[in-house]
Amino acid sequence: MENRLTKLFREKRENLLNVYFTAGFPELESTGVVLKTLEAAGADIVEIGMPYSDPLADGPTIQQSNTVALRNGMSIKKLFSQIEAVRPELEVPIVLMGYLNPVLQFGIERFCEEAARVGVDGFILPDMPLHEYEEEYQPLFLKYNLSVIFLVTPQTSEDRIRKIDALTNSFIYLVSSASTTGNKVGGDAKQVQYFQRIQDLNLKNPKLIGFGISDRSSFQLACKYAEGAIIGSAFIKIIQQPENLEENIRGFIREVKAPEAVSA
Amino acid sequence: MKYSVDERGYYGNYGGAYIPEMLYPNVEELRQKYLEIIYEPAFQEELQGLLRDYVGRPTPLYWAKRLSEKFNAKIYLKREDLAHTGAHKINNTVGQILLAKRLGKTRIIAETGAGQHGVATATVCALAGLECVVYMGKIDTERQKPNVARMQLLGATVVPVTSGSQTLKDATNEAIRDWISNPEDTHYIIGSVVGPHPYPDMVARFQSVISEEVKQQLLEKEGRANPDYVVACVGGGSNAAGAFYHFLDEPEVKLVAVEAAGHGVDTGFSAATSVLGTLGIIHGSKTLLMQTDDGQIVEPHSISAGLDYPGIGPMHAHLWETGRAKFYSITDNEAMEGVVMLSRLEGIIPAIESAHALAALHRMELKPTDVVVLNLSGRGDKDLATIINYLDNIEKPHGEQTN
């Protein structure tokens, strides 16, 4: 398998910044602008959320962005056309994150086919059972050169982590703590111990830490124990206002990636 | 048993466990242990003792003579309304609290719509001395104030849910989010035969005491264990699951599941999932679900908060698909007429949920020799405000359709 994600990880395996945003937020046509600005500002991966009425694993900030995006008229079909329109100008790997139900209604094969056609590189479908992926969807995802990304939490057993590592062909999404999205990573002893434990497993895939990464210090902490990190809720807060969208995005990414703290 | 759950957690095409990784260890632990725990002799002894002395089981099987005369058939009511806390919900919460203790959990969470499951959960938490947090849609906390007060009196914390539509669906989402954030000390007591496997099967087993008793009681009264019909209302479907359970493999027993049509199935204000639903995933289970073409979950409507749910349990989806159960949809108005009918004929005020099952008697073609068991899942005290409001307006013309 070869796609923009696998290529990226061949070339770079540290301080990787993956930024999540919800498609169609804050306005229906924001998707393309946010994508382009993120690549220009230096995001290594972009994760686009497909809005859902019942996002179980998400905290209030991302839930709210889902509600707004759906009200704006966002859909998977619309998202594919938005990505298609800007893809020729972009190099950044694109990962789609969403819940299984809308994908099943779209049709899983059609979903893979369209995703591949418009230049998507992988999926995160948190409520897709591992065994169902193995038994039903894996050949399809491979056929269309699409990576699949599974979550690992502090409670995931080592056996299961090994199994996930074996099934993965891009990166592992390391959930920072028992939480929905949007809680802050504290870096307490228990958390550091967990990151260390995973690091010591010497998995074949790179790991990106997500849930609670919100700023430069939490990003740097995550990068000490993993190849990179994912910022979601904190970024959604930055793009809540349609005004000065590009400027706000550039400022936020610059600050997160700065090697030294930037004074305001 | 053809209609029971298979090893992988499916009822035919329905069921499974579609959950994020954060829930996997807890659900997996339950899956591995639930059968072993609940059929352990010491567990059964404790459970049976509580069902008898605390819940007040067996609940009577009552021959409703005047109701029978009206429909020209022999109709029995299974009096779950007489169980402690006023509905069948306690059968499940008593079982799950004992299970939670054996799993070493110290904190209990639950979702509730009308508040009946919340009250039943708060009750058993008080009994077991465990912390209890109940998630309830903000709109439901306002329209079911007495139940909020009951839960608080029982020592539970009631959290009003302001996300989404602020009703049962969102209360369930919020309870699941709580479980994600508190995976180690917390057990989630789901109130219906919904959610990821093993919940639908586990809840059905705890509710199956209903049909177990019916079989014995009917044998004593009629000289036969099997009625011609078993009738029950279905929201998520826990009382129906319990009433059907021991009759699933008795083909001569016709199973009748009654859903809430709301204002009418074609009005956009309905909860008749078997009519309006398509295959989808809700709260971790693949089942029939009311959704848009894009797979977004649709907000249902029913005058009865207990039936106001956009899905049905996977077991019922399977009974629907195979034709094992016949499904009827009953409107808000028909259900309210059912409330009045049973109150006047038998001196029993039913829950509006159960009144949907009563109203379905009009649709069934009953013969004088037919023996019907109707599961009277709950009592109507909790619905008095809604009932009074309905009776006040009954004389006035209004725009709602009655069929």
Per residue in B141-163, pLDDT tens? 987 889 999 999 999 999 999 98
pTM of the model: 0.96
The identity of residue B168, as a single letter, is: L
Identify whether the C-beta of residue A100 lies closer than 8 Å to the C-beta of residue A127: yes
Question: What's the average model confidence in pLDDT over B89-113?
Answer: 97
Q: Which of A256-260, B13-17, B353-357 has the lowest mean pLDDT?
A: A256-260
**Beta carbons of B343 and B308 less than 8 angstroms apart:** no
B401 falls in which pLDDT band (50, 70, 90)?
Answer: very low
pLDDT computed for residue A263 by the predictor: 57
Domain residues of chain A, as ranges?
Answer: 4-257
φ and ψ of B107, to 5 deg: -135, 135
Cβ B280–A156 below 8 Å, yes or no? Answer: no
Burial code (b: 16+ CB inside 10 Å, e: under 16) for A221-260 equals bbbebbbbbbbbbbbbebbeeeeebeebbbebbeebbeee
Query: Given this model, what pLDDT does residue A185 score?
Result: 76
**pLDDT at site B144:** 86
Cβ(B260)–Cβ(B342) below 8 Å: no
Each of the 264 residues of chain A gets a pLDDT tens digit; together they read 899 999 999 999 999 999 999 999 999 999 999 999 999 999 999 999 999 999 999 999 999 999 999 999 999 999 999 999 999 999 999 999 999 999 999 999 999 999 999 999 999 999 999 999 999 999 999 999 999 999 999 999 999 999 999 999 999 999 998 888 877 777 788 899 999 999 999 999 999 999 999 999 999 999 999 999 999 999 999 999 999 999 999 999 999 999 876 654
In angstroms, the first-to-last Cα distance of chain A is 43
Mutate to test the interface with B, among A135, A151, A155 (most CBs of B within 10 A): A155
Q: Rounded CA gap, A126 and B317, in Å? A: 24
Strands B157-161 and B229-233: unpaired
pLDDT at A180: 82
pLDDT of residue A181: 81
- In terms of Cα–Cα distance, which of A160, A173, A159, A157 is closest to A205? A173
- What's the residue count for chain A? 264
- Give the rounded distance of the alpha carbon of A182 from its chain centre: 14
Q: How many A-B residue pairs are in contact by the CB < 8 A criterion?
A: 106
CA gap B243, A76 in Å, rounded? 41
Residue A128 CA, chain-centre distance (Å), reads 16
Q: How far is CA B75 from each of CA A125, A155, B63, B85, B231, rounded to the nearest angstrom?
A: 49, 52, 6, 25, 10
Q: Which two tokens stand for residue B205?
A: 């087993």
HSE of A84, CA atoms in CB hemisphere, 13 A: 12
What's chain B's average pLDDT?
Answer: 95
Nearest by CB to B294, from A60, A102, A156: name it.
A102
Residue B402 has pLDDT above 60, yes or no: no
Which CA distances in Å does B122 have to B99, B100, B150? 16, 14, 9
Which residue of chain B is at minimal alpha-carbon distance from A76? B294
Which pLDDT score is estimated for B218?
98
Q: Which of B271, B257, B214, B265 is nearest to B62 (CA)?
A: B214
What pLDDT shows up at residue B403?
Answer: 45
- Between strands B285-289 and B278-282, the pairing is antiparallel
Q: In B142-214, at which residue ranges do the beta strands (DSSP E only) sit?
A: 157-161, 186-188
Most A CBs within 10 Å, among B10, B13, B14, B21, to test the A interface = B21
The CATH T-level fold of domain A4-257 is TIM Barrel (3.20.20)
**Is 80 exceeded by the pLDDT of residue B398?**
no
The H or E element spanning position A33 is helix A30-41
**Chain-chain contact of B22 with A54 (C-beta, under 8 angstroms):** no
Active site residues of B: 89, 111, 377
In angstroms, what CA-CA distances link B387 with A17, A163, B253, B362, B384? 58, 56, 33, 21, 5
Q: Which pLDDT tens digit goes with each residue over B163-198?
A: 877 889 999 999 999 999 999 999 999 999 999 999
State whether residue B318 is helix, strand or coil. helix
Closest C-alpha to A49, from A76, A28, A72:
A76
* Region of poorest pLDDT, from A81-85, B28-32, B384-388: B384-388
Q: Do B25 and A126 touch (CB under 8 A)?
A: no
What's the CA gap between B260 and B234, in Å, rounded? 8
Query: Which chain B residue lies closest to A64 (C-alpha atoms)?
Result: B163
The distance of A106 to chain B (nearest Cα, Å) reads 7
* Segment (H or E) for A77: helix A76-86
Percent of chain B predicted with pLDDT > 70: 98
Confidence bin at B43 (pLDDT 50/70/90): very high
User: What is the four-CA torsion angle of A78, A83, A86, A92, rounded to 10 degrees?
Assistant: 160
* Residues belonging to chain A with any Cβ–Cβ distance to chain B shorter than 8 Å: 52-54, 56-57, 59-60, 63, 67, 70, 75-77, 99-106, 126-129, 132, 150-153, 155-157, 160, 175, 178-180, 183
Q: Which three-class secondary structure state does DSSP give residue B116?
A: helix
Average pLDDT estimate for B81-86: 98
